[in-house]
Structure 1
Amino acid sequence: MATKSLKSIAPVPTAVDFLDIILSKTQRKTPTVIHKNFKISRIRNFYMRKVKFTQDSFDEKLGSILSEFPILDNLHPFMSSLLNVLYDKNHYKLALGQLNTCRHLIDQVAKDYCRLLKFGDSLYRCKQLKRAALGRMATIMRRQKDPLAYLEQVRQHLARLPSIDPNTRTLLICGYPNVGKSSFMNKVTRADVDVQPYAFTTKSLFVGHLDYKYLRWQVIDTPGILDHPLEDMNTIEMQSITAMAHLRSAILYFMDLSEQCGYTVEAQCKLFHSIKPLFANKPTLLILNKVDVMRLEDLSPENRALVDEIISIEGVTMVQVSCYTDEGVNDVKTAACDKLLTHRVETKLKGTKINSVINRIHVAQPKARDDVVREPFIPEAVKARQKYDPGDPMRRRLEKDIEAEEGGPGVYNINLRKNYILADASWKDDIMPEIMDGKNIADFIDPDIAEKLEALEREEEKLEAEGFYDSDEEIVDSDEELYAAEEASAKAMKLASERKKMFKNRPVMPRTTGMRTIGEMTQKLSAAGYDTSRIEAHAMVAKASNAAMRKRKREERDEAMDVDTGRDGEWVDESMEVDGEDVSPKRAKGNTGAVVAKSKLPQTNRQLTGFKNAEQANKAIKLRNLGQRERNMLARAGESDRAIKTKMPKHLFAGKRKGGKTDRR
């Protein structure tokens, strides 16, 4: 079971919440109405169903808890030992065992009471047996209060454990407290481990990742270890011991030669020899940290002899590091990764799987074409890029070094233009360069553009001097004329937009293209040798008909524009009222003797179509309004589809429910 699956365990409820969940589910999911006049078989089945459903609910909930928590014997030895250190394996197994026993007891209670319910002879007897069954189940569940609380704490702690892959490439950092393990971890990985100047700041395992040779590496920072027997170590120290014992990794043992950590060099060397059995068959590196304060060459002869004794052990590589100045940090990472890669390859070569793979591998070797020896040549600049050592004068200057020289973070502002690929390096500092794909667009402008612009300006000046622009309209100076011009322009734009919409779906070419008039058409047809007499006769008839129609329209318009000077300036015309409203055309009214034009009146009133007279129309309108009254009242109710028709239903607000009544459900 991977560490990631440990984080997906569902929360474990308390005993009280457990009972609430199960019993409320039984009440919701099973029938609730039973009567004494039912058949006794129906009554028995009713209560047996409740008991069995409750048993199934307990079984399902407890089964999910037991299946989600990991079985220690099925885990990787590292995870199994880590859980034993953190939670005590016996206590953990005991809690899960009690829940398993609880599940079996509840199943047995349900089985016994279902057997008794088969012989229930009345509603009362069956109901009491159901109550007794559920009561015994609840009592058994309440006794599991402590195991449930313990498992919930274990679940919460499991969710906070780091995701450690026991089988991947791993670098394990160990040593005394406060020797610089977490500082190195923050330097080489993307992790952010808390670093403080006191011991045991790191109290649990922390995991970070780094990339080397296109591979992902796992770096584990362990809590500090003190030099005392294994039985006296606490939980914090045992996490480190467990990781060293079970993980196939490269061991990075950190030492502080300056003794600023609070422990002597002699004590640190004794701790190395104490835990050396855990380093068997693992690549080991001795990291001498804080060399900016004390180097190996500056140690006293006694301490130097103790350190040399460790270095002389076969398979131990010594590297001096300073996490403060970054000296040797990259060398430690490179040496540890290379050593672990070599060790893993050698281990696989010693295994049995290599025989099935090696037969399918063939390495082609090129044949020499002459006897000249050609040694590989790597320029010094390339070598400097491959490693980062602050003390090497040939190394490549990083942006970090430039930042430190220019005032540090918050003061230094990175120059993003310095890597532009341009023909001239001075172009990088242009005030406003136009860069595209690493090239300056200004480089591709016509080099004679300035001369061409000057020639164009001279030509314009010459045209102005000759009066070429004098025929243009005068410039509008006054504000009123300017406003009128803007308004006219807006109207023209609006008219153009409307015209564009009007002709949007029409054919692009007008149908009369090339034949504007009848005369032109007949002329072209005659030239082509066709007889156009019938077309001309038809055009003459249509022209006469259109003239007669236009004359008749003019006469009708003149009659409509009649002039009348009635008494007191009023139009003498009958009006018509329907339902108290005047439906006749309104008459213009003015002073006596005034000349007023009236539009042509309609022949009939459309509102009275189908009626004998105004009285019949009034009656029809009244009947129409009366028929719409009910719908008008309903329209005020709104559009809700959850309207409560009866505001106070009697069965909810009157009477009293007696014991056993379940009508409301």
Structure 2
Amino acid sequence: MSSLYNFKKIEPVPTAADFIDIILSKTQRKTPTVIRKNYNIGRIRQFYMRKVKYTQDSFEEKFKNILDEFPKLDDVHPFYADLMNVLYDKDHYKLALGQINTARHLIDQVAKDYVRLLKFGDSLYRCKQLKRAALGRMATIMKRQKDSLAYLEQVRQHLSRLPSIDPNTRTLLICGYPNVGKSSFINKITRADVDVQPYAFTTKSLFVGHMDYKYMRWQVIDTPGILDHPLEERNTIEMQSITAMAHLRSAIMYFMDLSEQCGYSIEDQVKLFHNIKPLFANKPIVLVINKIDQVRPEDLPAEQRALIEEIMNQDNATVLTMSCYNEEGVMDVRNSACDKLLAARVEMKMSGNKINDVINKIHLATPTARDGIARLPNIPDGALSKTKYDPNDPNRPKLEKDLEVEAGGAGVYSVDVKKKYLLGDEDWKYDTIPELWEGHNVADFIDPEIEEKLEALEREEERLEKEGFYDNNEPIMDEEEEELRNTADAIRERKKLIVQAHRTARGSKTAIVPKKVLAKNATVDEMNDHLSKMGIDANAAVERTRASAVGRKRTRAEAIPDEAVKDADAAVRDEVVTREMSNLGFRNVKQKKEADKQKKLNQVQNNKMGKRGEADRNIQTKMPKHLFSGKTSMGSRDRR
């Protein structure tokens, strides 16, 4: 159910300081910011006039939003007008909105005056000072609205927390003394979740729940408890209940606690009912006796029963009993209150002036008699029975249920789904394979001796099994299958040879051990064996190695390196380097060095692009003067 009044959409009201910052920042962002001394004086005047006008328009827009969104007490429903008067004080509320409206007119006047002066500015300095004076006076006017803006923000926050109450819809209003079971009742019949505690004044504001009854949506309002004292002595919590009872067209449900566990006697509760009875005028009244699990009306003394009967007789109130504890009679109370309210609303509409206009537009068409023949209503036989056909009627058609009973009942009878087939020949319905193709039944073209042939094959299989024909586990292959398998084996063998040859041509896939590691772990004998396998005489090199191990000084002749060993080392080194380059995808070392050089050159440009550029966000003025400069106290005047 959507309410006519939704105060949650009101925008927040900024403080006076935030208001000024928002407007001046917007002016700085949305208007030109660069002006030169050598500009034409007309251009300079237009520059500063535009700033003053834009600031005035921004203030005007903000003020207009505030004045339009906040509800006007003269335009809203009287219920909301009185409720806001109770909660926020009508005079204070109107005064705050009036202050905002006055500030809007003052700022408009300041802008007009200074724009008129700017038209006659004779220099850049004069125009700039006029602009500063205009914005300064606007800011001063805003600072004076500090209290009004703070008050309106508090009002907005409280308004957004108010429940959305539709004053014109079907409403049940629950009222009575504190702690008589009002919140427990609304929790039972609606989707609301109101706090329930065993002490008075747990409910301090209006709560709304919604329910469905007779395919219509109803709202149920739980009001705070009220006490029996004069109107001028009631506090804000009680006045919310009084306001709801006075202005909402609803069914009044007055709750009473006969057990007096609420802390108030039956006489006090009856007295309160008579005290607020003028608020119930022209509204259906339901007197709800709660907590009957403790005390029932028939258990009361005669004097107290007489008080309740007096309310029932004099005030035309309906007395209902229930207990929220064991939920006895809760739904009956709800339904009775809803029915009584519906009857009252219909009666009110019928007694109004608009009903005549509606009735005049309604026309009931009645057919005229065509002839003098009496056409009485005809009810077929069995139409009034529980089943479609009367079972005693001998002419009624036989149903599938009758066939089931005749065949033995459920679980024995099987429904014949083929009996209603519409085919060209009735004999086709129960064919073994009832499938048609090109107008012919497929079953008509099946070999009629197929079953005899199948039985002959099965007998032959049984004979072969008995003779042991299938006892041999060797696979039975014919010549074609055997040839196919041999060809596949030859292809697989050929593939293996190709893969091995390819791997041999590419070289070993194992990691190449560096020469330093080999030299550290290798022995002299291993080196001698390795060089011997390569066809190189390494005796001289072995002798020198062993001689140097015992510390003997070499002669000049021995110091001359063996050419064969040098050639062997160079050949091994070249082989290792060539293999490593081949694994990396290079032909030689020179090509690898050139690739490394090109890689470094390409990375230079990427490193440059990683630095700050003209497309990066750049805030030229990190501390705008209009936000950070003002009256200085002791200390530096450097605003930066």
TM-score (norm 1): 0.59
C-alpha change, 1:92 and 1:647, in structure 2 (3 Å) is closer
Answer whether contact 2:284 2:341 (CA < 8 A) is retained: yes
Partners in 1 of 2:462 and 2:608 — Cα distance?
77
Partners in 1 of 2:600 and 2:473 — Cα distance?
66
Question: What residue identity is the alignment partner of 1:273?
Answer: H
Residues 206-605 of structure 1: pairs in structure 2 closer than 5 A:
206-359=207-360, 360=362, 362=364, 471=470
Partners in 2 of 1:154 and 1:632 — Cα distance?
68
Partners in 1 of 2:47 and 2:325 — Cα distance?
77
Q: Secondary structure at the match of 1:132?
A: helix
Partners in 2 of 1:475 and 1:314 — Cα distance?
109
2:123 maps to what in 1? 122
Superimposed CA distance per residue, residues 480-521 of structure 1 (whole angstroms, 9 cap, x where no aligned partner)? xxxxxxxx9xx9xxx9xxxxxxxxxxxxxxxxxxxxxxxxxx
User: How much has 1:644 moved relative to structure 2?
Assistant: 3.5
Superimposed CA distance per residue, residues 439-497 of structure 1 (whole angstroms, 9 cap, x where no aligned partner)? x99x999xxxxxxxxxxxxx9xx979966998389699xxxxxxxxxxx9xx9xxx9xx
C-alpha change, 1:315 and 1:630, in structure 2 (3 Å) is same
Superimposed CA distance per residue, residues 572-613 of structure 1 (whole angstroms, 9 cap, x where no aligned partner)? xxxxxxxxx99xxx9xxxxxxxxxxxxxxxxxxxxxxxxxxx
Superimposed CA distance per residue, residues 540-576 of structure 1 (whole angstroms, 9 cap, x where no aligned partner)? xxxxxxxxxxxxxxxxxxxxxxxxxxxx999xxxxxx
Answer whether contact 1:322 1:329 (CA < 8 A) is retained: yes
C-alpha change, 1:444 and 1:630, in structure 2 (3 Å) is farther
Question: What residue identity is the alignment partner of 2:144?
Answer: R
Superimposed CA distance per residue, residues 73-112 of structure 1 (whole angstroms, 9 cap, x where no aligned partner)? 1111111111111111111111111001001101111111
2:602 maps to what in 1? 634
Partners in 1 of 2:108 and 2:276 — Cα distance?
51
C-alpha change, 1:170 and 1:641, in structure 2 (3 Å) is farther
2:548 maps to what in 1? none
Partners in 2 of 1:470 and 1:224 — Cα distance?
102
C-alpha change, 1:196 and 1:475, in structure 2 (3 Å) is farther
1:113 aligns with 2:81: no
User: How much has 1:315 moved relative to structure 2?
Assistant: 2.5
User: How much has 1:353 moved relative to structure 2?
Assistant: 2.4
1:54 maps to what in 2? 55
Answer whether contact 2:464 2:470 (CA < 8 A) is retained: no
Q: Secondary structure at the match of 1:211?
A: strand
Answer whether contact 2:286 2:337 (CA < 8 A) is retained: yes
Partners in 1 of 2:89 and 2:4 — Cα distance?
18
1:541 maps to what in 2? none
1:7 maps to what in 2? 8
Partners in 2 of 1:12 and 1:473 — Cα distance?
98
5+ residue gaps, structure 1: 371-422, 424-439, 446-458, 477-487, 496-567, 571-580, 587-616, 658-665
Partners in 1 of 2:259 and 2:100 — Cα distance?
54
C-alpha change, 1:238 and 1:348, in structure 2 (3 Å) is same
* Aligned residues with identical type, % of pairs: 65
User: How much has 1:144 moved relative to structure 2?
Assistant: 0.5
Question: What residue identity is the alignment partner of 2:612?
Answer: I
1:22 maps to what in 2? 23
User: How much has 1:166 moved relative to structure 2?
Assistant: 1.0
5+ residue gaps, structure 2: 368-373, 378-400, 402-409, 416-457, 476-484, 493-532, 536-573, 580-586, 626-640
User: How much has 1:634 moved relative to structure 2?
Assistant: 2.7
Superimposed CA distance per residue, residues 8-63 of structure 1 (whole angstroms, 9 cap, x where no aligned partner)? 01111000101110111111111122222222222222111111111111111111
2:102 maps to what in 1? 101
Question: What residue identity is the alignment partner of 2:134?
Answer: A
Partners in 2 of 1:187 and 1:74 — Cα distance?
36
Answer whether contact 1:463 1:469 (CA < 8 A) is retained: no
Superimposed CA distance per residue, residues 158-189 of structure 1 (whole angstroms, 9 cap, x where no aligned partner)? 11111111111111000000000011111111
Question: What residue identity is the alignment partner of 2:33?
Answer: T
1:204 aligns with 2:205: yes
1:80 maps to what in 2? 81
User: How much has 1:638 moved relative to structure 2?
Assistant: 4.4
Answer whether contact 1:190 1:209 (CA < 8 A) is retained: yes
C-alpha change, 1:86 and 1:475, in structure 2 (3 Å) is farther
Partners in 2 of 1:355 and 1:297 — Cα distance?
47
1:66 maps to what in 2? 67
1:32 maps to what in 2? 33
Q: Number of aligned pairs? A: 436
User: How much has 1:284 moved relative to structure 2?
Assistant: 0.4
Q: Secondary structure at the match of 1:210?
A: strand
1:183 maps to what in 2? 184
Answer whether contact 1:180 1:323 (CA < 8 A) is retained: yes
Question: What residue identity is the alignment partner of 1:97?
Answer: G
2:46 maps to what in 1? 45
User: How much has 1:236 moved relative to structure 2?
Assistant: 0.7
Answer whether contact 1:13 1:152 (CA < 8 A) is retained: yes
C-alpha change, 1:98 and 1:632, in structure 2 (3 Å) is same
Partners in 1 of 2:597 and 2:143 — Cα distance?
67
1:134 aligns with 2:102: no
Partners in 1 of 2:206 and 2:114 — Cα distance?
51
C-alpha change, 1:226 and 1:465, in structure 2 (3 Å) is farther
Question: What residue identity is the alignment partner of 2:350?
Answer: L
Q: Secondary structure at the match of 1:121?
A: coil
* Superposition CA RMSD, Å: 4.4
